[in-house]
Structure 1
């Protein structure tokens, strides 16, 4: 093995006898727990109640998980709709017998769309401020959560990079390979740390949190720009589109990047008229 090459062959979880507790699932739990504590600090700073924070957490978890799953199915694995429908919503595969799979196949673009929808519903039912006010704050823990999700993907040897064609890279032994690939999951995770730090800085150290839409726009712009460029070293998740100039992940990222720029530099919230 070369000095710049890592052979990656970890266990994917802890065998509890009756089931395996997947590290990937644990990464999602860590993401939500850390996100809750970060949001608790922000919520306290904004003078909001603990009751509304509990509701926010529930809306976030359900919205992000459901959106991420549906996003993957719609954009990358639509055959599940006809071949194994219930596996979309349950951690089991029902094709050729019942088999526990855990929650696999989650798309960040679907999670982003669902986050916006769930925050709209949360605001309408609970907070009654503005959707943008909530999004400007909730994107901070979401950015940190993305770090742990990508680490989980690395543990699972999924969303892999292309072969490096050199001595540098990671050999994903679980895939039966002997040649190194780009650890694209770790590239993304590393970059997402800086996305989180940028959002954290702008919220706590500047007045940008008062510019409605700015932090939400910055989140979309930074996160999806990272996603766009890392996709160049990723293996195509849609093999039939491997020869496209831009892959599915990049094509989906471009609208989010443009929306992010819009909210950063163009968007002006409507002024409430006095009654």
Structure 2
């Protein structure tokens, strides 16, 4: 049975300045996005419609703002609305932690809508461009979660070869290393599937729909191995908050994929 190595969260200390591993994983995520999105704008249909590397850099800036603002507000509204209603100034205390992927997704969508409006691009054209470039960033973030020893999994069979004790949990119960499951599913596997899918011409919106549905399905599965938030536990039907938030995401992704295909078919007839 494995024990979480309890990494020092500080990767480098220079005087009073501390560089955390989690911050470095964000830098890796941003770098991967720049690299992958730059590849995509160099290929059809983006290369044929005037997309440039500068557009990618601007997209990253908009996206970072969307992730930070949306992720924080999503955590506040989805997970601890009562607490933050009583302590509104704590909303700004982002250094204490508390970010939600689904809120970050909504924030990024809002940022991409603003970018599309300013550049006179179609919203779904923009989201189709970035969708295959997002999962590697998610994978990087999950490595950060693992290094920090957070978001540990539910209790696992001690005979499971990779079951892991998280001393941070205050118990010696062997657990699923759920950040690594999410790294593999919603990170690497989703990236490979979307990258391959997006290499062929698709109706505008279908790559975005595939991302929404794919992430929703993989996150829903991973949540069965992730310990629910202690202040929420399991909700109706024994589903976690993360799973309930994934259901509309899956439905929206499937609907968008289907609608986009129908729209393309009607235009071609």
TM-score grouping bracket, smaller chain normalisation: 0.7 to 0.9
Question: CA distance change for structure 1 residues 240 and 49 in 2, over 3 Å: closer, same or farther?
Answer: closer
Partner of 2:135: 143
The residue number in structure 2 matching 1:110 is: 103
Q: Comparing both structures, which one devotes a greater share of its residues to helix?
A: 2
CA distance in 2, matches of 1:87, 1:28: 23
Q: What CA deviation, in whole Å up to 9, does each residue of 1:128-164 have, x standing for no partner?
A: 1210011011111111111111111111121111111
What corresponds to 1:24 in structure 2? 22
Question: Does 1:78 pair with 2:78?
Answer: no
Match for residue 176 of structure 1 among 170, 182, 200: 170
Mapped to 2, the partners of 1:165 and 1:51 lie a distance apart of 50
Asked if 1:197 is matched to 2:189, the reply is no
Distance 1:269 1:19 in 2: 53
Structure 1: tracts of 5 or more residues without a match: 93-100
Which residue of the partner structure matches residue 66 of structure 1? 69
Which deviates more, 14-23 or 67-76?
14-23
1:251-262 equivalences in 2 (<5 Å): 251-262=244-255
Q: Choose from 200, 205, 225 the match for 1:213.
A: 205
- Cα distance in 1 for partners of 2:64, 2:244 equals 26
Cα deviation digits, residues 214-244 of structure 1 (max 9, x gap): 1101111111101111111211115344364
C-alpha deviation, 1:269, in angstroms? 4.5
Aligned to 2:221: 229
Matched, 1:166 2:142: no
The answer to whether the Cα contact below 8 Å between 2:217 and 2:250 also exists between their aligned partners in 1 is yes
Classify the secondary structure of the residue corresponding to 1:21: strand
Q: Report the alpha carbon displacement of residue 77 of structure 1 after superposing the two structures with TM.
A: 2.5
State how far apart, in whole Å, the 2-side matches of 1:22 and 1:70 are: 23
Gaps of 5+ in 2: none
TM-aligned CA deviation for residue 113 of structure 1: 1.1
Please state whether the residue corresponding to 1:239 is helix, strand or coil.
Answer: coil
CA distance change for structure 1 residues 32 and 89 in 2, over 3 Å: closer, same or farther? farther
CA deviations on 1:164-194 (whole Å, 9 max, x unpaired) are: 1424311112333322111111101101201
Q: Hey, what does 1:266 align to over in structure 2?
A: 259
Query: Contact 2:72–2:94 (CA<8 Å) still a contact in 1?
Result: no
Structure 1 residues 240 and 68, CA, compared in 2 at 3 Å: closer, same or farther? closer
Per the normalisation by structure 1, the TM-score is 0.85
Equivalence for 1:7: 4
Give the conservation status (yes or no) of the 8 Å contact 1:76–1:238. Answer: no
Structure 2 length as normaliser, TM-score? 0.86
d(CA) in 1 for partners of 2:201, 2:41: 17
Distance 2:178 2:79 in 1: 18
Q: CA RMSD in A?
A: 2.2
CA positional deviation for 1:260:
0.7
Task: Say whether the 8 Å CA contact 2:6–2:148 is kept in structure 1.
Answer: no
